[in-house]
Amino acid sequence: MNFFNVGKYFTLVDMPGYGYHAPQDFVEMVEAYLQERQNLKRTFLLVDGLVGLQKTDHIGIEMLEEFGIPYVLVVTKIDRASKGLLLKNVLDIQQFVEEKTQGCFPQLFLVSSVEFSGIHLLRCFIAHVTGNLPIAETN
């Protein structure tokens, strides 16, 4: 796991190797981390926009649901998929979220690190859930 301090505000933890290249003890390590972190605000599960939900994504979602950990699905690589394929995958993911999940934040975040699409909104959401961007009431 890689830990990144975001100023003095919060720490972002990246768990690379999730899925195909995961170390043998990855699931046990992740389970222990998720269950023991009292200050965990949100978990973000990245889903490849080119392929949609994979078996490893389902395993991660099942774990988060079982532990009652709030999470968000972030659809990545939206610049690499054709519009039709991206729409199909997004609709499939959205239907899965509505029918099969309880702890998932209902809004999907669609992002491209190449085009920087959707990154600002995702950053604002992260700042908000960590208490660093209060949302003002408007009258």
Segment 49-71, tens digit of pLDDT: 999 999 989 988 998 999 999 99
Question: What Cα–Cα distance (Å) separates residue 18 from each residue in 38, 54, 120?
Answer: 22, 12, 24
**48 falls within a domain:** yes
The pLDDT value recorded for residue 33 is: 82
**Single-letter amino acid code for the residue at 46:** L
Is 38 among the domain residues?
no
Tell whether 91 is covered by a domain.
yes
pLDDT tops 70 at residue 80: yes
Global pTM value: 0.87
Report pLDDT digits (tens) over 89-127.
Answer: 999 999 999 999 999 999 999 999 999 999 999 999 999
Residue 8 has pLDDT above 80, yes or no: yes
Query: 77 lies in which domain range?
Result: 43-103
Number of structural domains, the chain? 1
In a domain, 96, yes or no: yes
In a domain, 72, yes or no: yes
Q: Give mean pLDDT, residues 29-33.
A: 81
Residue 110 near residue 118, CB atoms below 8 Å: yes
Amino acid at 84: G
